[in-house]
C-alpha cells in the first residue's frame, strides 16, 4: 500500500480538529504547521524536491 498526501490529509485534519477542541490555544500552531506541510507537499509535486 502506498501512502500519499490524499491518505494523510484527512487523518491530519481529524487529529488537528480533536486537539483544537481540547486545547483551543493550539489553533494558531496547528493551522500554521498544517499549511506549511500542505504547501511543501504541493511544491514537491511540482518541483520534485524529494524523489
pLDDT digits (tens, 9 = 90+) for 18-50: 888 898 888 888 888 888 888 888 888 777 777
Is residue 4 predicted with pLDDT exceeding 80? Answer: no
**Closest C-alpha to 45, from 1, 2, 6:** 6
Contacts of 44 (CB under 8 A, 6+ apart): 50
Burial class (CB in 10 A: 0-12, 13-18, 19+), 45: exposed
In-domain check, residue 12: yes
Domain-located, residue 50: no
- The predicted model scores a pTM of 0.58
User: Domain span at residue 34?
Assistant: 5-45
- The count of domains in the chain is 1
Residue 51 belongs to a domain: no
**Average pLDDT of the segment spanning 5-23:** 84
Q: Which residues of 27-38 are buried (b: 16+ CB within 10 A; e: fewer)?
A: eeebeeeeeeee
Amino acid at each position: 500500500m502506498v501512502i500519499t498526501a490524499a491518505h494523510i490529509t484527512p487523518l491530519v485534519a481529524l487529529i488537528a480538529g480533536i486537539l483544537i477542541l481540547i486545547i483551543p490555544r493550539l489553533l494558531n500552531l496547528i493551522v500554521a504547521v498544517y499549511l506549511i506541510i500542505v504547501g511543501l507537499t504541493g511544491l514537491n509535486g511540482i518541483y520534485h524536491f524529494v524523489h
